Amino acid sequence: MSTQPTDTTDAPGYPAEFAERYRAAGWWRGETFGQMLRERALNHPDRVAIVDPAGAGRRWTYGELDDRADRLAAGFLERGIAKGDRVVVQLPNVAEFFEVIFGLFRIGALPVFALPAHRETEIRYFCEFTEAAAYVIADTSGGFDYRDLATKVRAEVPTLRHVFVVGEPGEHTALADLESEAREPVAVADGPAPGDLAFLQLSGGSTGVPKLIPRTHDDYIYSLWGSNEHCAVDENSVYLCALPAAHNFPLSSPGTLGALYAGARVVLAPQPSPDVAFPLIEREGVTITGLVPPLALVWTEAAPNSPHDLGTLEVLLVGGAKFSEEAARRVRPALGCTLQQVFGMAEGLVNYTRLDDPEETIVTTQGRPISPDDEIRVVDDEDNDLPVGATGHLLTRGPYTIRGYWRAPEHNAKSFTADGFYRTGDVVRVTGTGHLVVEGRAKDQINRGGEKVAAEEIENHILAHPAVHDVAVVSMPDDYLGERTCAYIVLREGAEPVKSIAVKKFVRERGLAAYKVPDRVEFVEEFPQTGIGKVSKKDLRAAIAARLVTS
Ligand code: OOB
């Protein structure tokens, strides 16, 4: 087995002494995703792995998924996609998502996980920055034609040699064409080593462009089986994937990949709404699922009047944004299952309330880390450790937390301490039982019900408007999403007045995901300033919150 650290030119790997420690402790098991699926397929080929209810409904067994991944792997290799190549994957919740990523895992090519909501600006950036060799899409989904998007991006990004389409390919290549029957299985010996990168995940981010998060087979697989232990996922579990499958939460906490690791069944929901999800829970006997807080609220409201039997549901994970205590208290009475709060991040660290925690702990905390080797520091603005119970910045290091973003040395110097702790940007306190309570955020980001919006990214787009002199994007409180975005704008002197709707349209037309379009636009003469003359976002947040109360 290779003990090479990950490629240090692209991403700082784990220092050798830590890698040894994590291996010796048994956290890193020396498995790869390709092997993991192969083993499950050999042990229980006929057990159902994936249920995709879309269209006529499909049920793929472990044997079938393994076989499909193999054939796709061979197809990718034949088209010149090789180990280490990046492939942007943007698929809705369909079974093909899994054959594609396992096909790529098997040959050591790296999926780059885009979300279905991403549009031209984001996709072009992912393809350009990662020098992607291929882009995998659905033909259409949610009323949007991804083939047109792919045509544009392909014309702009010279490295992008292939576009593979689930469904009708148009001018591109059908994924189905890659899967012809006659292909030889790929020799696993040619595949990646456990310490190699497996994929690039996207950061929610607070900077102008999203950072890419390099995860290894070893570290991510630990987060899967560690999650399975804390969430009681075993081969009898049925996991409903209601959130977008590519996001780290439904992917790995314990998510679809955790369920597949356990030999359990994954049920894909095309939409997370109760009218779609509740019938699936009843029909498939779903035992566990994960939701962001706004959806958890909708589910708790809908459940008591639902004609569907939700009796099999044992665990509802809620995370991605802070779940209010009042809402948390309603989960068990309404849904008849245990709430498990999850506070995680694509960079690594994941915390869960434990299934046997007292109800008070479950509703008032965001859980404690997966691993005894997760190191947690709570520090002040100068990186001094604070006493237990004090509120401060959360820093973390551990067996499944990255040591740096992909190809981002300057940013890494700021986002990580010299000794490798990741600065999460979250403000927390730790209780006497070691549970974390999220008290706020120091990073310049808006958490729109779990969807992360980097203020700087949106500010840069709005600044491109000819009438805009300056802009500051801040969060405003919202009953449903927790937060929404408000863009404060100072217009250029003498500029024609602009309507807020025109600003929103301008941002949308720059080809951004819809959730990044500001929810509200306010025009001001000037910005409030801090003592040293910087824009005071704190004052802007307070101003908009006060206006919302009075309006
Ligand atoms: C999850 O991952 P990301 O990468 O989209 O976002 C991470 C950030 C955290 O740093 C924190 O600011 C926020 O999302 N967050 C929470 C939270 N869970 C995440 N803030 C308050 N309470 C919570 N329970 O969002 C993610 C990844 C894996 C599992 C769950 C969520």
Burial status of residue 539 (CB atoms within 10 A of its CB: 0-12, 13-18, 19 or more): middle
Q: Whose CA is nearest to atom 14 of ligand 1?
A: 320
pLDDT of residue 56: 81
Q: Give the residue from 81, 45, 82 showing the smallest Cα distance to 65.
A: 45
State which ligand 1 atom lies nearest to the alpha carbon of 366.
Answer: 24
Q: Whose CA is nearest to atom 3 of ligand 1?
A: 345
Instruction: Say if 242 falls within a structural domain.
Output: no
State which ligand 1 atom lies nearest to the alpha carbon of 203.
Answer: 4
Q: Is 70 exceeded by the pLDDT of residue 8?
A: no
CA 207 to chain centre: 17
424 CA → ligand 1 middle, Å: 10
Q: Whose CA is nearest to atom 6 of ligand 1?
A: 345
485 CA → ligand 1 middle, Å: 18
Of 343, 352, 453, the one to substitute when testing ligand 1's pocket (max ligand atoms within 8 A of C-beta) is 343
Quickly list DSSP for 198-223. EEEEEP--SSSS--EEEEEHHHHHHH
pLDDT of residue 405: 98
Instruction: Say if 268 falls within a structural domain.
Output: no
pLDDT tens readout for residues 426-473: 999 999 999 999 999 999 999 999 999 999 999 999 999 999 999 999
Q: Give the residue from 110, 90, 98, 89 showing the smallest Cα distance to 11.
A: 110
Residues lining ligand 1, Cβ inside 6 A = 204, 248-249, 253, 319-322, 341-346, 350, 366, 424, 426, 438, 441, 447, 450, 452
342 CA → ligand 1 middle, Å: 8
332 CA → ligand 1 middle, Å: 22
271 CA → ligand 1 middle, Å: 21
Integer Cα distance of 243 and 343 in angstroms: 16
Say which CATH number the domain at 467 has: 3.30.300.30
pLDDT of residue 54: 87
335 CA → ligand 1 middle, Å: 23
Instruction: Say if 433 falls within a structural domain.
Output: no
400 CA → ligand 1 middle, Å: 15
Average pLDDT over residues 104-120: 97
State which ligand 1 atom lies nearest to the alpha carbon of 293.
Answer: 24
The helix or strand, by DSSP H or E, that contains position 368, with its residue range, turns out to be strand 368-369
Burial status of residue 11 (CB atoms within 10 A of its CB: 0-12, 13-18, 19 or more): buried
Structure tokens at 131: 């020098």
52 CA → ligand 1 middle, Å: 27
Integer Cα distance of 111 and 503 in angstroms: 34
Q: Is 50 exceeded by the pLDDT of residue 2?
A: no
Phi-psi region of 294 (alpha: psi -120 to 50; beta: other; left: phi over 0): alpha
Instruction: Say if 372 falls within a structural domain.
Output: no
Integer Cα distance of 59 and 48 in angstroms: 6
Instruction: Say if 191 falls within a structural domain.
Output: yes
Instruction: Say if 244 falls within a structural domain.
Output: no
Say which CATH number the domain at 177 has: 3.40.50.980
Amino acid at 157: V
Contact 206, 195 (CB under 8 A): no
> How many domains does the chain divide into?
2
Percent pLDDT > 70 in the chain is 97
Q: Is 90 exceeded by the pLDDT of residue 207?
A: no
pLDDT tens readout for residues 357-388: 999 999 999 999 999 999 999 999 999 999 99
Q: Is 70 exceeded by the pLDDT of residue 185?
A: no
State which ligand 1 atom lies nearest to the alpha carbon of 253.
Answer: 29
Mean pLDDT, the chain, whole residue set: 96
Instruction: Say if 346 falls within a structural domain.
Output: no
177 CA → ligand 1 middle, Å: 38
Q: Whose CA is nearest to atom 8 of ligand 1?
A: 345
Q: Is 60 exceeded by the pLDDT of residue 25?
A: yes
Q: Is 60 exceeded by the pLDDT of residue 172?
A: yes
Residue where a domain terminates, one of 188, 221, 254: 221
Average pLDDT over residues 226-251: 98
Q: Is 80 exceeded by the pLDDT of residue 7?
A: no
87 CA → ligand 1 middle, Å: 25
Average pLDDT over residues 416-431: 98
The helix or strand, by DSSP H or E, that contains position 281, with its residue range, turns out to be helix 274-284
Strand partners, 283: none
Residue where a domain terminates, one of 186, 221, 256: 221
Q: Is 50 exceeded by the pLDDT of residue 206?
A: yes
CA 115 to chain centre: 8
Q: Is 60 exceeded by the pLDDT of residue 518?
A: yes
Of 317, 322, 345, the one to substitute when testing ligand 1's pocket (max ligand atoms within 8 A of C-beta) is 345
Instruction: Say if 488 falls within a structural domain.
Output: yes
**Three-state SS string across 123-158, please?**
HHHHHHHHCCCEEEEECEECCEEHHHHHHHHHHHCC
CA distances from 431 to 424, 434, 439 (A): 18, 5, 12
CA torsion angle 396 399 401 402 (round to 10): 120
3-class state of residue 515 by DSSP? helix
pLDDT of residue 549: 87
Strand-strand pairing, 86-90 and 134-138: parallel
Quickly list DSSP for 310-355. -TT--EEEEESSPPPHHHHHHHHHHHSSEEEEEEEETTEEEEE--T
Q: Whose CA is nearest to atom 2 of ligand 1?
A: 345
Domain around 471:
449-550
Integer Cα distance of 368 and 397 in angstroms: 14
Q: Whose CA is nearest to atom 9 of ligand 1?
A: 345
Structure tokens at 15: 């220092």
Average pLDDT over residues 86-108: 98
Integer Cα distance of 412 and 13 in angstroms: 12
Residue where a domain terminates, one of 198, 221, 244: 221
